[in-house]
């Protein structure tokens, strides 16, 4: 069986991945808070964990992986948006969830197997909180339920800090009812104008962290394989998830492997809503950047390295993908090559895997031109194209769903009609000078021209330059 190695934030080591049950490999990834469009930084964990999902499905079988990603649909940012806009919370969260799915599908992410909404699991959260109060890990104070960090000896282990360091370094909310400033909210009271549910502590709503503990327990069990998210969530969110889950289910180990993606940055700072230095996935798509290009750019940097989005990277990715799509047109995927699978198995080395795709495309270009070149013993074009397609598909690239953009960005039909009409009259007059002039100009603009008795086919080539078309008609 193929060996997958992953860098586990819990041990800070690259470890061999051993699933609890190879027939049901289980992964949980923290999803978005749904009050606004996702910015492109939010797409990074989605793409990274989509590659891991595809790899796990490749290694263990499609039906042997369960991927859960939640929607946080109860949150003070959502409440504020509802108050500011006068719209209902349901309307805002439904709309934002749909946007999110549309945008993430546009960058080639498969839907996770389960996408629970926090509000569907309030009962499970209340049960878990009750258990934590009973076992002394949580206490009730002024209508709030708080988790007592001192009750859990391993608190801070994931992020490698002591409780004292955290107090010194964090902007903690000092509330008189907290026994320790690091204690965090499991449940809080809701006023009548805010969403609330009946609970043993009165009408209220959950704190942010408890939902992931409750939903992962309900859907994946008390121990599962992989937990993922951006490294900005490591503290406090993931630290708190561990504390809640391990205290509520002391027999379980919660997640065995923790994976964290690094941040997408803008001039050295994390792209985030609060800093205002963001643009959305939808902005890029609307500007004509294909989703496949966005995906490629992300995959060209290893997930554990910070990265910037630049227009230059997008241009290069676009040219590569366009070339690959043209070269593989008409061929079908077969099996991914060993080197690509191995690169992904080595802690998702997508950068290296893309390098292997470059090599395959060079080989394909060469064998497609074999008629013109000397003899060699390389495989037939359909074999190489089959490898390239299947290997790219494993990264979620060159899939049929993400295609179409490579030819649809320019409409050359009026040029084709014009060239055909010129050709028809030239057949009678026997003067082909105008036909030749237009053909030369089109070729000069990087258009591929195919003429026959029945019609003219034009397609933008790799060096297509639309500005050179001006004045040709
Ligand atoms: P949020 O809705 O802010 O909780 O974020 C949803 C997901 O996006 C989480 O996994 C975050 O870690 C991740 N995330 C947020 N900002 C960035 C960024 N600039 N780069 C990469 N991941 C991010
Ligand atoms: Zn979470």
Question: What pLDDT, in 10s, does the model give residues 81-136?
Answer: 999 999 999 999 999 999 999 999 999 999 999 999 999 999 999 999 999 999 99
Out of 44, 103, 267, 301, give the residue to mutate to test ligand 1, the one with the largest number of ligand atoms within 8 Å of its CB: 44
Out of 41, 298, 306, give the residue to mutate to test ligand 1, the one with the largest number of ligand atoms within 8 Å of its CB: 41
Kindly give the confidence (pLDDT) of every residue in the chain, 473 residues in length, as a single tens digit, with 9 standing for 90 and above: 799 999 999 999 999 999 999 999 999 999 999 999 999 999 999 999 999 999 999 999 999 999 999 999 999 999 999 999 999 999 999 999 999 999 999 999 999 999 999 999 999 999 999 999 999 999 999 999 999 999 999 999 999 988 888 877 766 667 888 999 999 999 999 999 999 999 999 999 999 999 999 999 999 999 999 999 999 999 999 999 999 999 999 999 999 999 999 999 998 899 999 999 999 999 999 998 999 999 999 999 999 999 999 999 999 999 999 999 999 999 999 999 999 999 999 999 999 999 999 999 999 999 998 655 566 788 999 999 999 999 999 999 999 999 999 876 578 889 999 999 999 999 999 999 999 999 999 999 988 888 887 888 887 776 678 888 888 88
**Contact predicate 294/311, CB 8 Å:** no
By alpha-carbon position, which residue is closest to atom 5 of ligand 1?
Answer: 32
Report CA-CA distances (Å) from 423 to 345, 428, 444: 56, 9, 19
Please give the domain boundaries of the chain with CATH numbers for all domains.
5-264 (3.40.50.620), 311-407 (1.20.120.640), 413-469 (no CATH)
Length of the chain: 473
Kindly give the distance from the C-alpha atom of residue 361 to the centroid of ligand 2, in angstroms, as a whole number.
Answer: 40
Q: Which two tokens stand for residue 65?
A: 């992986």
Out of 29, 34, 42, give the residue to mutate to test ligand 1, the one with the largest number of ligand atoms within 8 Å of its CB: 42
d(CA 306, CA 270): 9
- Which one of the ligands is nearest to 254 CA? 2
Residue 179 DSSP label: S
d(CA 359, CA 339): 11
Which ranges constitute the DSSP H helices of 180-234?
210-220
pTM, entire model:
0.88
As a three-state string, the secondary structure of 270-324 is ECCCCCCCCCEHHHHHHCCCCHHHHHHHHHCCCCCCCEECCHHHHHHHHHHHHHH
**CA nearest to 58, candidates 342, 354, 425:** 342
Kindly give the distance from the C-alpha atom of residue 230 to the centroid of ligand 1, in angstroms, as a whole number.
Answer: 6
Report CA-CA distances (Å) from 372 to 177, 376, 381, 434: 81, 12, 14, 31
- Strands 254-261 and 223-230 come out as parallel
Q: What would the pLDDT profile of 245-282 be if each residue is shown by its tens digit? A: 999 999 999 999 999 999 999 988 999 999 999 999 99
Kindly give the distance from the C-alpha atom of residue 95 to the centroid of ligand 2, in angstroms, as a whole number.
Answer: 21
Strand partners, 448: 459
């Amino acid at each position: 069986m193929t060996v997958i190695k992953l860098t586990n934030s819990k041990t800070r080591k690259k470890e061999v991945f051993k699933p609890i049950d190879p027939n049901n490999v289980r992964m949980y990834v923290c999803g978005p808070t749904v009050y606004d469009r996702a910015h492109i930084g939010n797409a990074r964990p989605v793409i990274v964990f989509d590659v891991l999902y595809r790899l796990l499905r490749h290694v263990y079988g499609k039906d042997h992986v369960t991927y859960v990603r939640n929607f946080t649909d109860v949150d003070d940012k959502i409440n504020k948006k509802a108050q500011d806009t006068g719209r209902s919370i349901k309307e805002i969260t439904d709309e934002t969830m749909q946007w999110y799915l549309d945008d993430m599908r546009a960058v080639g992410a498969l839907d996770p197997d389960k996408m629970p909404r926090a509000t569907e699991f309030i009962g499970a959260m209340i049960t878990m909180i009750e258990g934590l109060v009973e076992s002394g890990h949580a206490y009730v104070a002024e209508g709030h339920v708080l988790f007592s960090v001192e009750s859990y000896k391993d608190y801070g282990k994931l992020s490698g800090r002591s409780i004292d360091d955290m107090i010194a370094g964090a902007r903690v909310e000092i509330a008189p009812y907290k026994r320790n400033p690091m204690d965090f909210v499991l449940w809080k009271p809701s006023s009548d104008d805010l969403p609330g549910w009946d609970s043993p502590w009165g009408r209220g709503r959950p704190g942010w962290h408890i939902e992931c503990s409750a939903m992962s327990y309900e859907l994946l069990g008390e121990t599962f394989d992989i937990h993922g998210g951006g490294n900005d969530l490591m503290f406090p969110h993931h630290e708190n998830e561990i504390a809640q889950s391990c205290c509520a289910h002391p027999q379980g180990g919660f997640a065995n492997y923790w994976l964290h993606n690094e941040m997408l940055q803008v001039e050295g700072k994390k792209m985030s809503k609060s800093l205002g230095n963001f643009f959305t996935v939808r902005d890029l798509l609307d500007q004509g950047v294909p989703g496949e290009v966005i995906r490629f750019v992300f995959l060209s940097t290893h997930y554990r390295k910070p990265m910037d989005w630049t227009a230059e990277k997008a241009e290069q990715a676009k040219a590569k993908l366009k070339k690959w799509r043209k070269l593989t047109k008409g061929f079908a995927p077969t099996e991914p090559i060993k080197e690509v699978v191995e690169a992904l198995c080595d802690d998702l080395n997508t950068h290296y895997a893309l390098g292997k795709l470059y090599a395959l495309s060079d080989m394909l270009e060469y064998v497609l031109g074999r008629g013109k070149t000397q003899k060699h013993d390389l495989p037939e074009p359909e074999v190489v194209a089959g490898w390239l397609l299947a290997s790219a598909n494993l990264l979620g690239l060159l899939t049929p769903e993400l295609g179409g953009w490579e030819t649809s960005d320019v409409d050359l039909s009026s040029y084709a009609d014009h060239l055909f009409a010129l050709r028809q009259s030239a057949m009678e007059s026997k003067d082909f000078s105008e036909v030749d002039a237009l053909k030369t100009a089109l070729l000069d603009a990087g258009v591929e021209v195919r003429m026959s008795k029945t019609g003219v086919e034009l397609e933008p080539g790799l060096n297509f330059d639309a500005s050179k078309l001006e004045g040709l008609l």
